Amino acid sequence: AMVRVAGLVFFTGFASSYVTQKSPMTWQIASALTIVVAGACVTSVYHVKSVEFESGAVVGIFFVLLSTVSDSLEQVVCEVILQEGSVDVDVYTFAGVSGLIGSIFMACVLGLAQVIPGGDHGVMEDSIDTFQQLLASVAVLLLLLVTVVLCLGEMLSAAAMAKYYGVTTKEALLAFRIISAWAFAVIIYYSWEDYGFGEPVTVEGLIFKSIGGVLILGGVLFYVHVRREAEEDMGKVDKWSDDEA
């Protein structure tokens, strides 16, 4: 999570500035993004230092960085589609088409997993058995439906942020997911302690999360402030003010 969030914020910010040139880039903006990345690293390092570093981890980190580059380019395309005047796709259409494409890819991957040898009844993924287990547990099925609804809301919110505030702002704000995921893990742990899910609160963990959260919040607020100043210098904000006048 630490590597991915850091890579996404940096790569998306610079790609949006130098590829599509839709976002300004100054040393103050770069500093603000660095603070956000630092906050993401602080919130994640508590978990990273408790995990044994294996020989294959370097290869894994390399591929994670490659995926962040790919994802950042996707964010730039998203920004063009949502903000370019000649295209100007609305948020709902963009989220719907993105979800449809993702569902097609998921169906293809799951289809292949049904025939590739693995440890799930002889194949990599036995989806029929998975659906049978879901139907046998109403609680798990409801949780799955709630997750789908939340994911839909996240897609719409992310698309709206990308359209009206830019993908760099979107990725900076989404760094809060690390904090929110930890908060839900704590709630789950103390709500259903007997099941062993979630994460308990520790003094060390709380310190790391608090410092990281403050850095992310401060970095985002600083980023919004310096970006507005940069856009005013470029005439973007004044342009809208003149049109309204």
CB 43 within 8 Å of CB 182 = yes
In percent, the amount of the chain with pLDDT more than 70 equals 77
Which pTM value belongs to this model? 0.64
* Band of residue 77 on the pLDDT scale cut at 50, 70, 90: confident
Cβ-count burial 82-102 (b if 16+ within 10 Å, e if not):
bbeeeeebebeebbeebeeee
State which H helix or E strand residue 123 sits in.
strand 123-123
Question: What would the mean pLDDT of 8-13 be, rounded to a whole number?
Answer: 69
Across 58-67, 90-99, 228-237, the highest mean pLDDT is recorded for 90-99
Which stretch of 1-5, 95-99, 142-146 has the lowest confidence by average pLDDT?
1-5
CA-wise closest residue to 24 among 203, 242, 232, 189: 232
Which stretch of 60-64, 101-105, 163-167, 220-224 has the lowest confidence by average pLDDT?
60-64
Residue 185 clears pLDDT 80, i.e. is over it: yes
Q: Give the model's pLDDT for residue 57.
A: 56
Q: Give the model's pLDDT for residue 19.
A: 60
Which stretch of 50-54, 75-79, 83-87, 118-122 has the lowest confidence by average pLDDT?
50-54
Q: Report residue 225 CA to chain centroid gap.
A: 22
Residue 81 clears pLDDT 70, i.e. is over it: yes
Greater confidence, 232 or 142? 142
Say how far apart CA 215 and CA 96 lie, in whole Å: 34
List the end-to-end C-alpha distance of the chain, in Å, as a whole number.
46
Say how far apart CA 80 and CA 163 lie, in whole Å: 9
Question: What would the mean pLDDT of 214-228 be, rounded to a whole number?
Answer: 79
Which stretch of 33-42, 102-111, 139-148 has the lowest confidence by average pLDDT?
33-42
Q: Give the model's pLDDT for residue 27.
A: 78
Q: Give the model's pLDDT for residue 235.
A: 65
CA-wise closest residue to 221 among 29, 51, 24: 29
Residue 194 clears pLDDT 50, i.e. is over it: yes
Say how far apart CA 210 and CA 201 lie, in whole Å: 12
